[in-house]
Chains A and B, each alone.
Chain A
C-alpha cells in the first residue's frame, strides 16, 4: 500500500525531470545558455563593469577647493601623471622591478622544474612539489614579515654576511626584488614544470643522436619548446608584482604604483587620480598579454 502511494508523486517527479532533460537535449543552445549565464554575468557585471567604472572615473577630477569630485570628462589626472617626475619614477620602478623579478624567477625556476620533470624519481618529485607549494600554505603577510626580520639591521642575513665582512641590502629596491622573487617563485615553477614534462623524451634522444651535446640540446630543443610555458609563468610573476603594494611598504621606504593609488584612495580622497594611475598597470598588462599570446603562452597554460 505504502509503496503504491509513494510511487505516485515520485513518478510525476521523475516524469517531470525526464521531460526537462529531453527538452534540454533537443535544444543544445538553451542548455549552453543556462550553463554559461551565471559565470558570464559575474564576469560581465562585476569584473568588466567595475573596470569600466574605473576607466570612466579616471577622467573625472577632484576640485581642490571644495574637495568634491567633478564628474566632467577631462585629462587633468593624466596630465599630472605625465608631468610629475616622481610619478614617472614610480611607474618605471614598478615595471622595472616586475621585469627583474620575472627574469630572476625564470632563471631560478627552470633548473628546478627541469630536475623535477625529467630527472627526479617520483618520490623525490613529490617531495619537491610539497617544498614548492608549502610556502603557499602560510599567509602572504607572514612571509613578507619574516623577510623583514631576515633583512633587518640585526637580522640573520646581516649576521651571516658580516662573517665575511659584508652587509645586506637593507630596506630598499633590492630588498623588494628579493622578496617578490621569493614570493612568486612557485607561480613560475609550476607552469615551467608542466611545459618541460610535456616534451617527449624521444626529442631529446633524437637531438643527441644527431650529434648535439647536452648544452646544444638545451638551447636548440628544450628551451624553445619550454618557452611558451616560461612566458605563461611570467604572466603571473609580472602581473602579481605590478599590482602589489604591501611588500614595498613592508620592506622598503620606496613606493610602487599601488602605494600611490592606496594613499590617494584613503588619505587624499582623490579617487579620480587613483583611478588614472591604476590604468597604467592595466595598460602595461594588456600590452604584455598581447605579446604573450603571440609567443603561444596561452596554449601552455
Chain B
C-alpha cells in the first residue's frame, strides 16, 4: 500500500484551519445515464475529523462516499486523499476502508478470518495476524468471537465485526455507509456513542453517511447537508441547526417554520425568507401583550400531537400561514395539551430567532 507519509504543502495551505486535509473533492460530478447523482461537489474533510454526509435518499451522499472509496469513478472532477490524486485508482490501492450498510461480512469465513482478511491479503504472517485480530475484536468488545460464523451473530455484533475488519488495516480514512441503519433505536443510540468514542481513540478520519439528522448532529465534528446532488451547507452541527444556510437545510435538520413573502413583511417586518425553530415560539392567550423586540402573530390551533415529553401544536395564522410550535410538557398533561385544539392563541418569539435563509436547491420541505 502506498502511503503519503507527510501531507503535501499545497493541501496544508488550502486547508481552512491548521489541520491538514484528509479528503479533498474537487468539482466532483457523477452521472448515471441521464441522472445526475452528484453535481459539482467541492468538499474538504480535515484529518482526524468525524465528518457526516447528511441528506435524504437519492441526494448523492452515498455516491460521494463510493467515489472516495473507489467503487465509482467521477464523471468529472478529482478526488484527493491526503494530497494524492486518486481519481481512477482502484479501491485496493487506496488507503481507505469501508463499513458497508449491509456489513458485507464474508459468510463462508468465521469472524477471525473476516477481520483478518485485509492482513491476509497483504501477506501478514499468521501469528501477527491472529494477535492483531484479537486486538481489533477487543476494541469492539467482541473478545473471543474468532470462531463464530457471521450468521451466528446479532445485527449489532455483525456491525462491530465490520468495524473491526475495516479498522484493523489502520486506514487513514474510514468510510461508513449508514452503518447503523438496520439496528433498532436503542442499539443505534448506544452504537453512536461507541463509534464516536472509537473514533476519538484511534484518531482516524471518519466519513459517515446518514439520512438521520439526529445521528449526524450527535456524532459529527462537521457535516455536509446534501440535496439533489449538491452540498447546501458545510458546518458544525450547532451552526447547521442554529444558522441554516438554506430553506432546505432548515427543513431537513430538525423541523422548521418558513416565513416568506407577504407573511415575512407582516410578521418580521422585512422581505426575505426566514425560518423559526418550533421550540423557540411561545404559545399564550390572544389577549397577552408582546414585547417590542418580539415577533407576534395570532392564530388558531388546528392540530395537537402529544408526544410524551413534549407536544407539537399546528397553528393556522390569521394571515394564512401554518407554524409548528413545540412545547415541553413541563406541567402540562396530555388532556390539557389536547384541549387547546380549536382555540385562538397568540404566538410570540424573540426577533433573534428569525433566521434568514436563501431558497437553495429545490427543497422538498419547502412551502
Residue numbers of A with Cβ under 8 A of B are 200, 202-203, 205-213, 216, 220-221, 224-225
Contact = CB atoms under 8 A, between A and B. Distances in A.
Contacts of B35: none
Contacts of A210: 92, 97, 117-118, 121, 165-166, 169
B242 to A, nearest CB: 37
B98 A211 contact: no
Contacts of A205: 69, 71, 91, 98, 100, 104
A209 B107 contact: no
B90 interface: yes
A213 B70 CA distance: 13
B317 to A, nearest CB: 49
Given A210-B169, A225-B108, 6 more contacts: A202-B104, A205-B69, A208-B92, A210-B117, A211-B1, A211-B118
A210 B175 CA distance: 12
A-B complex: 9 closest residue pairs judged by Cβ atoms: A210-B118, A202-B104, A206-B104, A208-B91, A211-B121, A212-B121, A209-B98, A202-B100, A224-B108
Interface in B211-237: none
Contact of B69 (A200, A209, A211, A225): A209
Contact of B92 (A202, A203, A212, A225): A212
Interface string B90-120: 1110001110111010111000000001100
A209 B97 contact: yes
Contacts of B92: 208-213
26 contacts: A202-B100, A202-B104, A205-B71, A205-B91, A205-B98, A206-B100, A207-B117, A208-B71, A208-B90, A208-B91, A209-B69, A209-B91, A209-B92, A209-B97, A209-B98, A210-B121, A210-B169, A211-B118, A211-B122, A212-B92, A212-B121, A213-B92, A216-B121, A220-B117, A220-B121, A224-B108
B102 to A, nearest CB: 6
A202 B66 CA distance: 11
Contacts of A216: 121
Contacts of A213: 92
A224 B108 CA distance: 7
A208 B121 CA distance: 10
Q: Would you call the interface of chain A mostly helix, strand, loop, or mixed?
A: helix
Residue of B70, B91, B166 with most partner-chain A CB within 10 A: B91
Residue of A200, A208, A220 with most partner-chain B CB within 10 A: A208
Nearest to B91: A208
A210 B105 CA distance: 12
A220 B92 CA distance: 15
A225 B166 CA distance: 21
Contacts of B101: 202
Given A209-B98, A210-B117, A210-B169, A203 B90 contact: no
B217 to A, nearest CB: 28
A252 B80 CA distance: 65
Interface in B40-96: 69-71, 90-92, 96
A47 B179 CA distance: 53
Contacts of A224: 108
Interface in B139-193: 165-166, 169
Contacts of A212: 92, 117, 121
A209 B100 CA distance: 10
Nearest to B94: A209
A122 to B, nearest CB: 14
Contacts of A202: 100-102, 104
B82 to A, nearest CB: 17
B166 to A, nearest CB: 8
Contacts of B104: 200, 202-203, 205-206
A221 B106 contact: yes
Contacts of A207: 106, 117
A208 B122 CA distance: 12
Nearest to B162: A206
Nearest to B122: A211
A206 to B, nearest CB: 4
A216 B101 CA distance: 23
Contacts of B102: 200, 202
Contacts of A200: 102, 104
Contacts of B1: 211
A230 to B, nearest CB: 14
Contacts of A206: 98, 100, 104, 106
A171 B151 CA distance: 52
Interface string B267-291: 0000000000000000000000000
Contacts of B69: 205, 209
A211 to B, nearest CB: 5
Contacts of A203: 104, 106
A206 B69 CA distance: 10
Residue of A203, A206, A209, A220 with most partner-chain B CB within 10 A: A209
B335 to A, nearest CB: 47
Nearest to A203: B104
Interface string B297-327: 0000000000000000000000000000000
A65 to B, nearest CB: 62
B114 to A, nearest CB: 9
A7 B106 CA distance: 64
A212 B100 CA distance: 16
Contact of A211 (B71, B100, B108, B169): B169
Contacts of B106: 203, 206-207, 221, 225
A224 B107 CA distance: 10
